[in-house]
Amino acid sequence: MNEMYSMGLSLHSIGGAALLAVVFLNLFMLIVAKDLKKYRRLMSVFLIPLTQTTLGFVIFSGVVMMAAKHLSFSVENIIMIGISLAFIVLEVKRIKSLKYLDAKKERALEFYKPFARRLLQIEFVMTLLISLWMWFA
């Protein structure tokens, strides 16, 4: 049982690192984006599914680890649940604002970039801090 629990923790840790990399990739692709239509296409085909799959893996592995601990809530678990919920809310806001962005406006992407960059930076910092806490605690 101990081996399974330690393997689960390792997988959860790898998922956290992967989520950190995906958020960084999202931030990088936003910064280098020049054309709104190409960026929307990239987001809908590649980045949104990748982000949601990685986040889903981290949340699912966390739920499995909590079940292995017989649903004992600790401070760390409550903080991770709160960060997961905040991450989901921030992603929904970012994706929804991109969806309703008017592509006919000349500088629509330039108005979207600061908002999305701020949200992605918040997600990156949240994921980095919780990952560092998980890895070094």
Q: How many domains does the chain have?
A: 1
For residue 45, the tally of other CB atoms under 10 A from its CB is 10
Q: In the prediction, which pLDDT does 112 show?
A: 95
Q: In the prediction, which pLDDT does 74 show?
A: 85
Residues sharing a CB contact under 8 Å with residue 73, sequence separation 6 or more, in sequence order: 66
Q: What DSSP line would sit under 99-112, residue for residue?
A: HT--TTSTTHHHHH
Q: Is the pLDDT of residue 95 over 80?
A: yes
Per-residue model confidence as pLDDT tens digits over 107-128 = 999 999 999 999 999 999 999 9
Confidence of residue 17 (pLDDT cuts 50, 70, 90): very high
Q: Is the pLDDT of residue 58 over 80?
A: yes
CA–CA separation, 13 and 108 (whole Å):
37
Residues sharing a CB contact under 8 Å with residue 11, sequence separation 6 or more, in sequence order: 61
Q: Is the pLDDT of residue 26 over 90?
A: yes
Q: In the prediction, which pLDDT does 73 show?
A: 83
Q: Is the pLDDT of residue 1 over 90?
A: no
Q: What average pLDDT does the structure give for the chain?
A: 92
Q: In the prediction, which pLDDT does 80 show?
A: 92
pTM attached to this predicted model:
0.91
Residue 89 lies in domain: 2-136
Q: In the prediction, which pLDDT does 55 show?
A: 96
Alpha helices by DSSP H, 33-47: 36-42
Confidence of residue 2 (pLDDT cuts 50, 70, 90): confident
Q: What DSSP line would sit under 117-129, residue for residue?
A: HHHHHHHHHHHHH
